[in-house]
Structure 1
Amino acid sequence: MTGRHPEGGEHQVSSPEDPTVQAAGCVLWRRSPDSGELELCLVHRPKYDDWSWPKGKLKRAEDALAGALREVAEETGCRAVPGAELATLRYLANGRPKQVRYWAAEAVACAFTPNDEVDRVLWLSPEAARARLTQPHDRPLVDALLTALRRARAAGGPQ
């Protein structure tokens, strides 16, 4: 997928041979403590005034899944258990190609503290999360997560 996206940042892992910025993130989910219904976590980044999935640039030589879980912890305060790998999004960010790999991840313990990078998190139903996401290219990940959770449930795994 290609489009304009207003991201910048510190960890731009690329080489002269491949200028693509490598990043990773998670579609973080939990069961509501009140209703038991599925909820997805979105983060608000004040620098861009947008709502997105927790994600970020990989550090040099960092494993993509490890980087995705690190970004979840930094941005949401959540420890997460990774599940299926979801889509890889490709788009332009600040005029450079960017590739973001995503995983489904279940939040198992959270303690969010607002910071300069992320000032709010929201736990929303899949439908509300899809509507709140700022970038249209992020929305198909809602369906990708729902499909992955259905497959895991059918295989006898966690839901």
Structure 2
Amino acid sequence: MAAGCVLWRPAQDGTVELCLVHRPKYDDWSFPKGKAKRGEDLLAAAVREVREETGHVCLPGDRLGTVRYRAGARAKEVTYWSARASSGAFTPNREVDAVRWLPPEEARRLLTHPQDRPVVDWFLTAP
């Protein structure tokens, strides 16, 4: 099981920006996410992955939903939460070499994997 967040922050124009991470191993853009450690609940895993991949502490909000897909012969499942960025700063590392803060529609276009795009809609329609 894996978990992640749609990490967001207020934009200067009163809208929001979403954070996408670039993983050089896969050369893809996605939301921060990763596998839960043994005994770790999914929300704790999502918050930890945000911190590890983006350098940001986040304030988790609504559970957005679960994406299910196949990667080769393996079934994968990632549960996402909305999370507001509070403090922190990104430092490139081996797993993530870049982040981009984008308006939701630009983030949707940049996402590499089609199964990630509905997560933007879930975020936009969350209470």
Aligned to 2:3: 24
Which is higher, the Rg of structure 1 or of structure 2? 1
- 3-state SS in 2 of match to 1:89: strand
Question: Structure 1 residue 94: deviation in Å?
Answer: 4.3
Deviations 1:58-109 (A, max 9, x none): 1111110000000000000010001110110111234221111100000011
Are 1:82 and 2:82 matched, yes or no?
no
Aligned to 1:63: 41
Identical positions, percent: 64
Structure with the larger strand share? 2
Superposed structure 1 runs of 4+ greater than 2 Å apart = 34-37
| Structure 2 unaligned regions, length at least 5 | none
| Structure 1 unaligned regions, length at least 5 | 1-21, 152-159
Tell me the C-alpha RMSD between the 2 structures: 1.0
**How many aligned residue pairs are there?**
127
* Structure-2 separation of matches of 1:93 and 1:72: 22
* Structure-2 separation of matches of 1:117 and 1:94: 21
* Structure-2 separation of matches of 1:132 and 1:74: 21
TM-score, normalization by structure 1: 0.77
Output aligned runs, 1:1-159, within 5 Å.
22-32=1-11, 34-148=12-126, 151=127
TM-score, normalization by structure 2: 0.96
* Structure-1 separation of matches of 2:14 and 2:92: 26
RCO comparison, higher one (Cα < 8 Å, 6+): 2
